């Protein structure tokens, strides 16, 4: 995990800007400048290749970290986090070796940490756990719920777990009502055909 890795390396403070890259003419540049560049490269290398080109010209770790969030916005984050969770959950399929499996697992985990970093804030931690449960629910929905599934993932903010339950139950009721209406129309059509049959002969 990126945040855990940076903490172990005592480099976590580069992310929030507590430690900044000094100008090249300052004495501390030789100490902090190269370290900033190294940490920035760690973050960029943890991203998918198609994303990295947007960050290679940023100068500070803080810019790279913030840019990864700001560039795509909350809507992208939710949908992309769901895709990563799905990808992570299906890793066992098609893996040619344990080393390939572990490498891919860590790469996906690192990218997920960029969008949902580890936190000691209980409210945020609870929300992240709730998000994981919502992703599991959405992943197991039948195809009939695809429209609602997409709406949730593209929302500005992911609904609460209670809201997801409510939305799904309402959608189920709608499906049942539509099914009843469809059967009623079919029955009416059959009755009309039966009624018209003698008139056509």
pLDDT at 95: 63
- Rounded mean pLDDT of 106-113? 81
Quote the mean pLDDT of the chain.
Answer: 75
pLDDT at 117: 64
pLDDT at 134: 87
- Answer for the pair 22, 29: CB distance below 8 angstroms, yes or no: yes
pLDDT tens by residue, 24-38: 777 777 767 777 788
pLDDT at 90: 79
pLDDT for 200 beyond 60:
no
pLDDT at 93: 61
Question: Which residues have C-beta within 8 Å of that of residue 167, sequence separation ≥ 6?
Answer: 148, 152, 159
pLDDT tens by residue, 78-104: 888 888 888 887 776 666 677 888 888
pLDDT at 139: 84
Q: How confident is the model at residue 46 (pLDDT cuts 50, 70, 90)?
A: confident
Between CA 145 and CA 69 the distance in angstroms is 29
pLDDT at 199: 54
For residue 16 the two structure tokens come to 């929030």
pLDDT at 151: 86
- Answer for the pair 22, 33: CB distance below 8 angstroms, yes or no: yes
Between CA 144 and CA 165 the distance in angstroms is 16
pLDDT at 197: 62
Work out the percent of the chain whose per-residue pLDDT is above 70. Answer: 72
Phi-psi region of 73 (alpha: psi -120 to 50; beta: other; left: phi over 0): left
Between CA 115 and CA 77 the distance in angstroms is 6
Q: Give which of 29, 34, 32, 41 is closest to 5, Cα–Cα.
A: 41
Between CA 3 and CA 117 the distance in angstroms is 6
- Answer for the pair 146, 168: CB distance below 8 angstroms, yes or no: no
Between CA 98 and CA 51 the distance in angstroms is 26
**H or E element in which residue 145 lies:** none
pLDDT tens by residue, 125-135: 888 888 888 88
pLDDT for 61 beyond 60:
yes
- Rounded mean pLDDT of 3-23? 70
């Amino acid at each position: 995990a990126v945040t855990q890795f940076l903490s172990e390396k005592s480099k976590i403070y580069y992310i929030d800007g507590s430690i900044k890259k000094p100008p090249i003419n300052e004495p501390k540049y030789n100490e902090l400048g190269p370290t900033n560049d190294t940490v920035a490269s760690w973050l960029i290398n943890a991203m998918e290749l198609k994303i990295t080109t947007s960050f290679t010209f940023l100068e500070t770790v803080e810019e790279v970290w913030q840019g990864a969030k700001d560039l795509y916005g909350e809507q992208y984050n939710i949908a992309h986090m769901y895709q990563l969770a799905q990808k992570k959950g299906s890793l066992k399929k098609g893996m040619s070796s344990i080393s390939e499996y572990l490498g891919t697992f860590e790469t996906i985990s690192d990218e997920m940490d960029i969008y949902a970093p580890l936190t000691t804030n209980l409210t945020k931690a609870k929300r992240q756990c709730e998000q994981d449960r919502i992703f599991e629910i959405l992943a197991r929905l039948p195809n009939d719920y695809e429209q609602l599934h997409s709406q949730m993932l593209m929302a500005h903010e992911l609904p609460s777990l209670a809201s997801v339950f409510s939305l799904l139950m309402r959608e189920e009721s709608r499906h049942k009502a539509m099914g009843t209406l469809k059967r009623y129309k079919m029955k009416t059509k059959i009755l009309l055909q039966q009624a018209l049959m003698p008139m056509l002969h």
